[in-house]
Structure 1
Amino acid sequence: MGAMIDDSSYERYARGMEERVRPALAACRKEGWLDPSAAERRAGLEPAGGQLHYCAYDAAAFDALREDGATGAFHGCIVISHGFTEFAEKYDELAFYFLLAGYSVCVIDHRGHGKSARDVSDPALVWIDDWQRYAVDLACFAQTVGQSYASGQPLNLFAHSMGGGVGAAVLERHPMLFDKAVLSAPMVAPQTGMSMWLTRALVSLVCACGLGRRRVMFQKEFDPAAPPDLSRYELSSEARERWYHKLRCEHEEYRTYCASFGWVRQAMRLNRAILDRRACSEVETPILLFQAGHDLWVRNKPQDEFIRRVRDGGCDARLVRIEDSEHEIFSMPNAVYRPYLEQILDFYADPSVGAMDD
């Protein structure tokens, strides 16, 4: 791959994004809307209503730009499943690198995030009635938009945090959907600051009292007038974190920031579903899971257990621990980000991975 965006200062990073990345993405981007209601009905869910927003980037249109470092060869499509309170545009830089490597890229705004439909009036709040809705939506997106952009070539998954937990559930329920999957600091289990059993008991009680749509204690909405709080991102690239903050300030729909008790309850249910031994044994897609050594948002031990159980089921599943990384590995400085990205691209391109299954 070619040179990465210079993140040595915010000014240089912003210039790279504004002058190189954004124009290139705009030239090959199509924004669209997905109606998942039919897929939800087939899965036994009552349709929640509303449509889901997505961005899709066509590798052929990108190749016509003749960007420095572009491969010029088409290798398929990568579907991106974003994390909690995130949005498609946050992945612009990563999408750009995937396009340079010859992949079309499709990114969906999960329900309650970005420009997609929301089920609560509070724009800062994330709530979901059933975690399975996320999984049905992602599978539907991959089966329709993702497959169309893959054009008969491999369809791969990149899934981060909450999106990684959802992605893991999709791999268990749709073993043949993706050719390869990268799970980046996936939310096999959220970090709640208390034990798992106590978290389950607390959120179940609160939801039973009809307070599932209330914000979890001490969580505040995003304040665009306040400077970015970088106290929890001491190792991350300051330039990238400031860029994400800028995007939230510019777009009201990107200011989703808080968990509801109902969302936490569903995250705990997702945890049990993902780690079910029978479900793990259904996975056939080769997995590369990245674990962050300084992760404040998800638990590492459940990731270890997931990989063990998938391996026990006979699937190729690998775990790479990046000791000096925080939760968002793609938000780290280039010294960490580049080798991480190179491992991802090598994994997608390696013909020996999963070859025994062919």
Structure 2
Amino acid sequence: MQVNLLDERHYAQTMRETVLPALDACRSQGWLTASAGSHTLRQNNAGKIHYVCFDAHAFDELHISGATARFRGAVVISHGITEFAEKFNEVAWYFLLSGYSVCIIEHRGHGQSARDVTDPNLVWIDDWNRYIEDMSHFCSQIAQEYADGLPLCLFGHSMGGGIGAAVLEQHPTIFDKAVLSSPMIAPRTGLPNWLATAFISSACAIGFSRRMAPGQLPFVAAVRAQDYANASVSRVNWFHALRMNDMRRHTSAPTYSWVREALKLSHSVLQPRMCERIETPLLLFQSGNDDYVLNPPQNRFVQQVRDGGCPAELIRIDNGRHELFGMPNPAMGPYIDRIISFFNDPIRL
């Protein structure tokens, strides 16, 4: 299926006048009780997890030009670090046009979900398993209802892709298809990750857990052009305007503890015995110019999933940047089309 992308020349206008009114007409939101924790997690870090959902049936009643008008199930969107639900409005639009309801979880420490640090710039987590428990609960309690007996698919980006990979391993029957876009199978830390693990863990042990991780910066009001090579200027400006409009979207940097837990998540996800547990056919998009996650562990992950007997395909976009959903239309079009074709076709892989 080929989706008509938004015209980058009139991107903001089309978002305001066409996309957002349609999304508002089929949008609902709510809060789930965050995981209180298993025996491995502290009980004092609960709170609420915010989510946003878009109903495909209500969307079809709007008779939007280009909509398939055929209900196909639901897609769960799992966002990256420092992101928020509204950043994925355009992606949600394309899924709705293709017949899928969309369910977006705002991971703890992001958007309107529970936070455990007072500095709005920072993301802190004490145990990465919280992300997995929150997301599996969200899928079973909320997203499955939107799928209404049809396939439930995953679209996970960056941190959200790493969380998604762990969910695929720990809860093999939740999703029917999975797309991991520049997933954090292993974070890029600037050091060999074995050395970063030792350094970060030591820093946490002496009280740096809630401090901003090395090399990170607080939120800035100006767009840093050097961070967005090969990106769509229209999309980057739109994303930044969304951040400017809400203090809860000023989240910009991980803490030492978050980096420690990201490295632990990576270690777990890459264990062959965990990869072998995956039963969900998956498609992994790799960015050739990725400043945030490492590519070789993605290759290893896909191969180990295949070795376990599950269909898995890696698509490398050589000139792609980390946020593949923020590329210019000539690159964005094939990316979106491939994702939707994968979701639509049960025998593609």
Whether these two folds match at TM > 0.5 is yes
Stretch moving more, 46-55 or 16-25:
46-55
- The answer to whether the aligner puts 1:123 opposite 2:124 as a matched pair is no
Aligned equivalents of 2:48 and 2:248: distance in 1? 15
Name the SS for the 1:304 alignment partner.
helix
Distance across 2 between alignment mates of 1:322 and 1:36: 36
Match of 2:211 in 1: 214
Question: In structure 2, what is the equivalent of residue 175 of structure 1?
Answer: 172
1:56 aligns to what? 53
CA distance, structure 1, for counterparts of residue 15 and residue 65 of structure 2: 15
**Match for 1:16: what amino acid?**
T
TM-score, scaled relative to structure 2: 0.97
Q: Which residue does the alignment assign to 2:335?
A: 340
Matched, 1:237 2:238: no
Match of 2:23 among 22, 25, 38: 25
8 Å Cα contact 1:230/1:241 also seen in 2: no
Q: More deviation in 209-218 or 107-116?
A: 209-218
Aligned mates of 1:194, 1:333 — CA distance in 2: 31
TM-score, structure 1 as length reference: 0.95
* Other-structure match for 2:321: 326
- Say which is worse superposed, 41-50 or 304-313, in terms of deviation: 41-50
Question: What is the aligned partner in structure 2 of residue 35 from structure 1?
Answer: 33
- 2:237 alignment partner, SS class: helix
Q: Map Cα deviations across residues 182-217 of structure 1 (whole Å, 9 max, x no partner).
A: 000000111111111221111011011111111112
Aligned partner of 1:230: which letter? Answer: A
What are the Cα deviations for residues 222-245 of structure 1, in whole angstroms up to 9, with x where unaligned?
Answer: 133xx2112121100011111111
**Shift of residue 3 of structure 1?**
2.1
CA, structure 1 residues 352+2, in 2 after alignment: closer, same or farther (shift >3 Å)?
Answer: closer
Q: Distance in 1 between matches of 2:46 and 2:294?
A: 32
Amino acid at match of 1:96: W
| 1:185 lines up with 2:186 in the alignment | no
Partners of 2:250 and 2:275 lie apart in 1 by: 34
Shift of the alpha carbon at 1:108?
0.7
The amino acid across from 1:19 in the alignment is E
Q: Is the 8 A contact 2:3 2:337 kept in 1?
A: no
Are 1:352 and 2:347 matched, yes or no? yes
Indicate the percent of aligned positions where both proteins have the same amino acid: 50
* Partner SS state of residue 351, structure 1: coil
2:8 and 2:329 in contact (8 A); partners too: yes
Q: Any residues of structure 2 matched to 1:197-346 within 5 Å, and which?
A: 197-224=194-221, 227-346=222-341
**For residue 319 of structure 1, what is the amino acid of its counterpart?**
L
Change (3 A) 1:218 1:44: closer
Q: Deviations over 1:45-77 (max 9, x none)?
A: 636221011100000000000111000000000
Q: Quick one: which amino acid aligns to residue 69 of structure 1?
A: G
Secondary structure of the structure 2 residue equivalent to 1:210 = helix
1:14-163 to 2 correspondence within 5 Å?
14-37=12-35, 40-41=37-38, 46=43, 48-163=45-160
Shift of the 47–80 alpha-carbon distance from structure 1 to 2, 3 Å rule, reads farther
Contact 2:73 2:147 survives alignment (8 Å): yes
Consecutive unaligned residues in structure 2, runs of 5 or more: none
Q: Which amino acid aligns with 1:110?
A: H
Residue identity opposite 2:337 in structure 1:
E
Distance 1:348 1:45, change over 3 A: farther
Q: Counterpart amino acid of 1:5? A: L
The whole-number CA distance in structure 2 between the counterparts of 1:219 and 1:322 is 26
- Displacement of 1:171 in angstroms is 0.1
In the alignment, the residues of structure 2 paired with residue 223 and residue 65 of structure 1 have an alpha-carbon distance, to the nearest angstrom, of 38
SS in structure 1 at match of 2:208: coil
Contact map agreement 1:286 1:353 (CA 8 A) in 2: no
Q: Describe how 1:5-20 pairs up with structure 2 within 5 A.
A: 5-8=6-9, 12-20=10-18
Asked whether the 8 Å contact 2:35–2:130 carries over to 1, the reply is no
- Provide the rounded CA distance (Å) in 2 between the counterparts of 1:297 and 1:2: 28
Q: Is the 8 A contact 1:41 1:47 kept in 2?
A: no
